[in-house]
Amino acid sequence: MSHTVIVEHVSKVYRQGELDVPALTDISLVIDAGGFVSLHGPSGSGKTTLLNIIGGLDRPTAGDVIVAGKSLNSLSRSELAELRLDRIGFVFQSYNLIPVLSALENVEFIMQLQGVPDDERRERAMAVLKEVGLGGMEKRRPAQLSGGQQQRVAVARAIVSNPDIVLADEPTANLDSKTSAKLLELMQKMNQERGVTFVFSTHDPLVMKYARRLIALSDGRVVDDQSAGK
Amino acid sequence: MKAFSARAGLLLGLAFRNMLRNPRRSILTLSAISVGVWSCTSLAALARGVGAEMARDAIYNLTGHIQIHAPDYVEDPSIEHRFKWPNQKINRLLKEIDTAGIAVRVRVPAVVASERETRSVTLVGIDPAQEQGLSFIGDKISAGDLFSAAGKSGIVIGRALLDELETKQGKRVVLLSQNTKNEIADRGFRITAVFDAELESTEKSYVFVSREAAQTMLGMQGEVSEIAVTLKDKDKLHEYVTRLKQALPEFEVHSWRELEPLVTALNSIQNGFLFLWYLIVIVTVAFGLVNTLFMAIYERTYEIGLTQAIGFSPLMVLFEVVFESFYLLISGAIIGNILALLTNLWLKDGVDVSAFARGTEMIGVSSMIYPDQRISDLVAVNILVLIIGIAGSVYPAWRASRLTPVEAMGRRE
């Protein structure tokens, strides 16, 4: 099985005034293609920081991350942006969508940046919106969608361009349990049918129930890493 | 760059929608830009109108576009500096250029005396037919006919001078001047006509007799003081003056700009002040725009982080903000230009500044100002607004582009 992400001895230290606050300490792990992985732990355990570093949104103080065979440390900000565009999908906790764009346009956003022709772009975006259960809501702006619907649009946007990996930062944090379950089923379906790798940061037990690999973090260190059911 | 046009289209679309996002703020910014453009272009139109009026008055006030004199006449416009007329060479040269009118004159300092008052004036001996359409005297006779009644003994004087001399039309005045023998020549003339001019100073400065009468009085038979020429195409002024100067080294040839240095200087000063005004207004507007953009960026910091997270490069963030500024500037400029054109339409019959007549007369401006909206001013103002506005917006745009996704998205919490 190929490796989608390799994390090599990553540490992250934040400077707060006169103090150095370690957020991650010497983390190494490998995420295989097709994985459905949760990074879980209490608040402040470093799961969002790790997710940000894997996604090239933040840089480690030490160590490196390899995504799709590329060392993130070697990439400029623009090159990181290109990598995120082509290889990584993101789903955030909330406010995932661009408010001035409709659901369809939000889903088309990444493909438009990638230069996908208009017709193909529209067709793919419509299809994936239908797939996530939002057929008929294409023209709605984010403000006209519920929280769960917005997260579905975000998932649609994240997967529509067939990225290597989707990073989801507490995607169910603002959803009720029923909506959370529906969203997780959707992502599980995408993982199984499309083979997209998903990595979540979460402290939601429901998410952990769906994950096939559970990586526990505490005080910036990996304290447990096991496959579901073991 | 990958899919450059698709990205540009996306950025332009986003920037446009962002502009519409906060209508009240955008309307305020648009208003500031529109008023700025309107004030610059409208002021330019009025200032150009004043400038054009000054130039027109200067040219119409006996100067013409080009004058030919004997050497040193301009420095010392006395009878000593005269030349023989007709002159075959000058006639041939003037036929080669595209003239609208040619007036040959005697023009010397003189004193005019009525029974009660005496005033120093410029005596101008003219051929009335030549002055038609070339100078004010051919068109400004308000009472009586030019020399017709009294023939060679008729004189035309301005209304203001008539009052100062405490005389009236039909009465006689005496002209005194130096003749060609350096003796005092005097002769009585009957006031056959009175002229009204835009400027009171003009009415007080000149008296007109027929050229033949002036030549007889001064002993200048076969001689004149100046030739004034008006052109059909004033844009060829420089070319024709240069040509005449080269061809007539034994004469002095001047353009009206050289003969009216005050008007030329005022026009230059006016250009400088206009440009300064443009800069002040446009820079002020640009500060307002920059402030608006900072507010917009502050409100959208999370969104900037989000767009970077999902694929925007720093350069695209910069362009998104610059494009929004461009939309505001273009829309504001269009509204400002429309307002300026409507203002010009409203003022097309002129602005009456007669309440300030004494002040305006000092700079040779009549009591009506007609807006003169030039394309060059519109282009200059609009280009300046765009350049300064875009340049100003680059700073907030650059600040936005420097935010990392994590910084930007973290600022919401």
Q: Helix B375-402 vs helix B261-299: angle between axes, to the nearest 10 degrees?
A: 30
DSSP B263-292: HHHHHHHHHHHHHHHHHHHHHHHHHHHHHH
| Shortest CA distance from A115: residue in chain B | B3
Residues B207/B193, Cβ–Cβ less than 8 Å: no
Res. B196: pLDDT tops 50:
yes
The DSSP element (H or E) to which B335 belongs, if any, is helix B314-346
Distance from CA of B25 to the nearest CA of A (A): 16
Amino acid at B332: G
DSSP A45-59: SSHHHHHHHHTTSS-
For residues A219 and A43, what is the distance between their CA atoms, to the nearest angstrom? Answer: 9
Q: Where are the alpha helices (DSSP H) in B68-199?
A: 88-96, 128-131, 159-164
- A82 at B interface, C-beta within 8 A: yes
> Residue for token digits 């994240």?
A158
| Shortest CA distance from A85: residue in chain B | B311
Residue B84's contacts (CB-CB under 8 Å, 6 or more residues apart) are B222, B223
Strands A165-169 and A88-91: parallel
Cα-only R_g, chain B: 31
pLDDT of B113 reads 95
Residues B220/B79, Cβ–Cβ less than 8 Å: yes
For residues B377 and A163, what is the distance between their CA atoms, to the nearest angstrom? Answer: 54
Residues B394/B322, Cβ–Cβ less than 8 Å: yes
Residues of A in contact with B2 (CB under 8 A): 82, 114-115
Show me where the domains of chain B are located: 2-59+263-410, 71-250
What SS3 class is residue A32?
strand
The pLDDT of B73-100, averaged and rounded, is 92
Q: How many CB pairs under 8 A join A and B?
A: 82
Residues of A in contact with B309 (CB under 8 A): 55, 57, 84, 90, 92
Distance from CA of B361 to the nearest CA of A (A): 59
pLDDT band at A52 (very low <50, low <70, confident <90, very high): very high
Distance from CA of B313 to the nearest CA of A (A): 5
What SS3 class is residue B226?
strand
pLDDT band at B164 (very low <50, low <70, confident <90, very high): very high
pLDDT digits (tens, 9 = 90+) for B239-295: 999 999 999 999 999 999 999 888 888 888 988 998 899 999 999 999 999 998 899
For residues A128 and A160, what is the distance between their CA atoms, to the nearest angstrom? Answer: 7
Residues B195/B141, Cβ–Cβ less than 8 Å: yes
Tokens linked to B261: 């240095």
pLDDT of B146 reads 64
For residues A96 and A151, what is the distance between their CA atoms, to the nearest angstrom? Answer: 7
In total, chain A counts a number of residues equal to 230
pLDDT of B140 reads 64
Strands A36-40 and A213-218: parallel
Distance of CA A1 to the CA centre of its chain: 21
Q: What are phi and psi of B233, to 5 degrees?
A: -115, 100
For residues B413 and B132, what is the distance between their CA atoms, to the nearest angstrom? Answer: 82
The DSSP element (H or E) to which A202 belongs, if any, is strand A197-202
pLDDT of B352 reads 81
Pick from A35, A33, A34, A58: nearest CA to A48: A58
Tokens linked to B284: 């002020």
Residues of A in contact with B3 (CB under 8 A): 112-116
Residue B391's contacts (CB-CB under 8 Å, 6 or more residues apart) are B286
CB contact under 8 A, A112 and B309: no
β partners of residue A14: A21
Tokens linked to B274: 């206009």
pLDDT band at B145 (very low <50, low <70, confident <90, very high): low
Q: What mean pLDDT, rounded, does chain B reach?
A: 88
Res. B400: pLDDT tops 80:
yes
The pLDDT of B178-201, averaged and rounded, is 89
Nearest 5°: the CA angle A165, A171, A173 is: 160
Residues A129/A104, Cβ–Cβ less than 8 Å: yes
DSSP A35-95: -EEEEE-STTSSHHHHHHHHTTSS--SEEEEEETTEEGGG--HHHHHHHHHHHEEEE-SS-
Give the ipTM of the model, two decimals please.
0.89
CB contact under 8 A, B10 and A113: yes
Instruction: Give pTM, 2 decimals.
Output: 0.76
For residues A27 and A12, what is the distance between their CA atoms, to the nearest angstrom? Answer: 10
Q: Which of A57, A89, A115 sits opposite B405 (nearest CB)?
A: A57
pLDDT of B6 reads 81
Cα-only R_g, chain A: 17
Residues A194/A159, Cβ–Cβ less than 8 Å: yes
| Shortest CA distance from A158: residue in chain B | B310
The pLDDT of B294-304, averaged and rounded, is 89
pLDDT digits (tens, 9 = 90+) for A195-212: 889 999 998 888 888 999
